Amino acid sequence: MKMVIAIVQDKDVSKLLLDVTREGLRATRLASSGGFLRSGNTTLLFGVEESQVDTLLATIRETCHLREELLTPTQTIMGPVNAHIPYPIEVPVGGATVFVIDVEQFIKV
Ligand code: 2BA
């Protein structure tokens, strides 16, 4: 079994959950936020069979879009980065950041 962890933009979550549910997959949705932009995103956990990983990745690719988010100089950014941003810049975000991890045990009690 594999654990697929997908960090996706909030705008893509509803359609992605609809699509994966139709495919018979199960998901857990966690509210999260990015360390760089400090804005909200969503982390989805999928416990899937190894044979389902490719289908899931294809669905994530189809659904999650690249967007440009505006990083303004007034935004609080850790470290010296902010000092070097005198005007708003566009930062590409997405489609999705995905980790695929081996699951040692899957237990439902
Ligand atoms: P954020 O950390 O808010 O990052 C948003 C976007 O800002 C990133 O888009 C990337 O284009 C840019 N970015 C991030 N860190 C940067 C840096 N140190 N210097 C310059 N640009 C930077 P994505 O790569 O699509 O990432 C979207 C979100 O996925 C991230 O939001 C974060 O929540 C998560 N993420 C991405 N890579 C990750 C990783 N290796 N580990 C954990 N979470 C990750």
pLDDT tens for residues 7-51? Answer: 999 999 999 999 999 999 999 999 999 999 999 999 999 999 999
Name every protein residue with a CB atom under 6 angstroms from any ligand 1 atom.
7, 34-37, 41, 91-94, 97
Whole-number Å distance, alpha carbon 36 to ligand 1 midpoint, is 6
Whole-number Å distance, alpha carbon 92 to ligand 1 midpoint, is 9
**Helix orientation angle between 53-63 and 10-22, rounded to the nearest 10 degrees:** 140
Whole-number Å distance, alpha carbon 32 to ligand 1 midpoint, is 12
Residue 83 has pLDDT above 80, yes or no: no
Q: Per-residue confidence at 107, pLDDT binned at 50, 70, 90? A: very high
pLDDT of 81 reads: 56
pTM, rounded to two decimals: 0.90
Q: Helix (H) and strand (E) counts for the chain?
A: 2, 6
Residue 75 has pLDDT above 70, yes or no: no
Higher pLDDT, 99 or 80: 99
